[in-house]
Structure 1
Amino acid sequence: MVLVSSKYLLDRAYQEHFAIGAFNAGNSEFVKNIITVAENLQSPVIIQIYPLEYELMGSKIIKYVLEAAKVSNVPIAVHLDHGRDLNDVLRSNKDQLNSVMIDTSAEEFAKNVAATSEVVDICHRLGIAVEAELGSIGNRFANDSSNMGRIYTDPNSAKEFIEQTEVDFLAVSIGTVHGPYPSGKNEIRIDILKEINRALKIPLVLHGGSKNPDQKIKEAIENGIAKVNISTDIKLPYFHAIKDTVIEKPTDYEPWIMLKQANQIQKDILKEKILLFGSNGKASEYLNDFRHLKPYFPYEGEKVEFY
């Protein structure tokens, strides 16, 4: 199977009101589990790498992901998650990820526009799709526990941001947070999402996709969310399962023994998420006519050698 662009996956998902799961690959086992479940469900999928995951595993993990995706029978895109600056983006360009996120949402609007525009200019010339963020998703470590650092995305500002930067898809803040939620803090604002969707009419991205009510996720997908990021939901149970196995079998050490339960738990969660997002069975829609299959890079990129 050829690798496809995140842009190609999301454009169709947005039009048909389903979403693509974008799962963070914390190690090579995660990559195998994600692809196995995607193939079993015949679902397109995005494998994404966060900068700290990138630093932990090095550029070689990207080569592994790309090769694993090439021999899969479903469409797979490979994405940089939360690129912190131009250096993160250029590293991912060199390693041939075909879409990137530049996240300068903590900056004031003008600086966010400027930084994002620079990345879009470089990446579109190389043929690479770009995601950005406006507002603040928030996280569980924020000082204000009642709000957890959320700044909701303003629809009017979002429209101006899209017009000035020409990003391909936008991560919006509608009440989710990164990391596990404290009890009772799940407050996805579908009303805000509807306004953003009406204003932008481009694929939208939900960060902090873990630990949300299924019904809210379904409503979000119906109202413009075409990519749902999942990290916590596939990491916490995985590593807790390893801990439980170590406690249960303290004298065992072989990987096929120590990881068996963790891998199965993760695969069960991946299946649950893909079914929730409605992307199961959609692989054939992308693959039916290869003449319309967008290339790995969605733009007419320049031939560039990286050194």
Structure 2
Amino acid sequence: MLVNGNEILQKAHKEFYGVGAFNFVNFEMLQAIFAAANEANSPVIVQASEGAIKYMGIDMVVGMVQVMAKRYGHIPVALHLDHGTTFESCKKAIEAGFTSVMIDASHHPFEENLAMTKEVVDFAHSKGVSVEAELGRLMGVEDNISVDEKDAVLVNPKEAEIFVKETQVDFLAPAIGTSHGAFKFKGEPKLDFERLQEVKKMTNIPLVLHGASAIPDYVRNAFLATGGDLKGSKGVPFEFLQEAIKGGINKVNTDTDLRIAFMAEVRRIANDDPTQFDLRKFFAPAMESMKKVIVERMHILGSANKI
């Protein structure tokens, strides 16, 4: 059933677990996400970025999710706009049927971010839709980065308290050292868990971890074995994800892992049988590979069997 994102995350917030928020760009990804949630008996958040909406069409995005939500009627699912860049983008998503939106004004000065977020919150709440915002900038944090450099890019807990109080945003993505994509860290992964705990204490709302793909060894190895190149990428280790949940994270965004797992299987089939051109022969196994990653992630985050 399609629900407000806050309905899913408030439960996770109160019961101290994380919910996976999985991006999709086509039917196959969406089917894998729902099948995984069904197998794990887990609530789920499905996300579409502005780029994904442009690729599929907003009516198709909403329509597919509504059909899948009806098919798997026992699964609480929220349809979330990932990284909405403007009020107009968020408004369009809300009017189309999204049940949750993110306004990402984190690249603007604090006061401008606050004002833009409040405008979206006021409109979204009038329509029964939840809102996510972001503070700080996502970039990998290395061991040799100075305190001043960290403070310049990572979330300021005191600002987070003011931001949440004035905007009434439903959940917040605090920058604590992750980054988007496969190439997150040059050195060893490092997240600022103390800063995270302080933000949770100051805000007492569900928090979000962006850039949270883990790139497990079996996913990486499958991709590399088929001729792929990940340029020595490092994801966020599972133990870091679990530590982040202990520190207050309740929504964990995942995209890169799904793409790599899917494409590794497509590559394998193409390499094994160059004569194959039946798309179903590629996509059915690729969906299963992706589903395996999602089910595993739901158990790691603690959302399995929470329906």
> Do these two structures clear the TM 0.5 threshold for a shared fold by scoring above it?
yes
The residue correspondences of 1:211-226 to structure 2 (distance < 5 A) are 211-226=235-250
Q: Does 1:275 align with 2:277?
A: no
Aligned to 1:299: none
Moved over 3 A (4+): 145-150
Task: Provide the aligned C-alpha RMSD in A.
Answer: 2.0
Aligned to 1:83: 84
Unaligned runs of 5+ in 2: 214-234
Q: Does 1:23 align with 2:25?
A: no
AA at the equivalent of 1:15: K
**Alpha-carbon separation, structure 1, partners of 2:188 and 2:259:** 20
Aligned to 1:189: 192
**Alpha-carbon separation, structure 1, partners of 2:106 and 2:185:** 23
CA separation of 1:175 and 1:266: change in aligned 2, threshold 3 A: same
**Alpha-carbon separation, structure 2, partners of 1:176 and 1:185:** 12
Aligned to 1:114: 115
**Alpha-carbon separation, structure 1, partners of 2:17 and 2:30:** 22
Aligned to 1:165: 167
Aligned to 1:74: 75
Unaligned runs of 5+ in 1: 284-307
CA contact (8 A) 1:99 1:129 kept: yes
What's the secondary structure of 2:161's corresponding residue? helix
**Alpha-carbon separation, structure 1, partners of 2:242 and 2:191:** 11
Aligned to 1:174: 176
Equivalent residues, number: 278
AA at the equivalent of 2:306: K
Give the counterpart of 2:261 among 237, 253, 258.
237
CA separation of 1:64 and 1:220: change in aligned 2, threshold 3 A: same
The residue correspondences of 1:91-106 to structure 2 (distance < 5 A) are 91-106=92-107
Superposed CA offset, 1:138-191 (max 9, x none): 379xxxx99899811000010111111110000011111101124534211111
**Alpha-carbon separation, structure 1, partners of 2:20 and 2:193:** 19
Aligned to 2:52: 53
Superposed CA offset, 1:42-73 (max 9, x none): 10000110110110010212211112112212
**Alpha-carbon separation, structure 2, partners of 1:24 and 1:209:** 12
- 79-88 or 255-264, which deviates more: 255-264
Superposed CA offset, 1:214-265 (max 9, x none): 1111111112101000001111221232123222222111122112332222
What's the secondary structure of 1:82's corresponding residue? strand
Superposed CA offset, 1:90-121 (max 9, x none): 22012110110000100000110111111011
Shift of residue 202, structure 1, vs aligned partner: 0.6
**Alpha-carbon separation, structure 2, partners of 1:29 and 1:35:** 10
**Alpha-carbon separation, structure 2, partners of 1:87 and 1:239:** 33
What's the secondary structure of 2:153's corresponding residue? coil
For normalisation by structure 1, the TM-score amounts to 0.86
**Alpha-carbon separation, structure 2, partners of 1:123 and 1:138:** 29
For normalisation by structure 2, the TM-score amounts to 0.86
CA contact (8 A) 1:150 1:175 kept: no
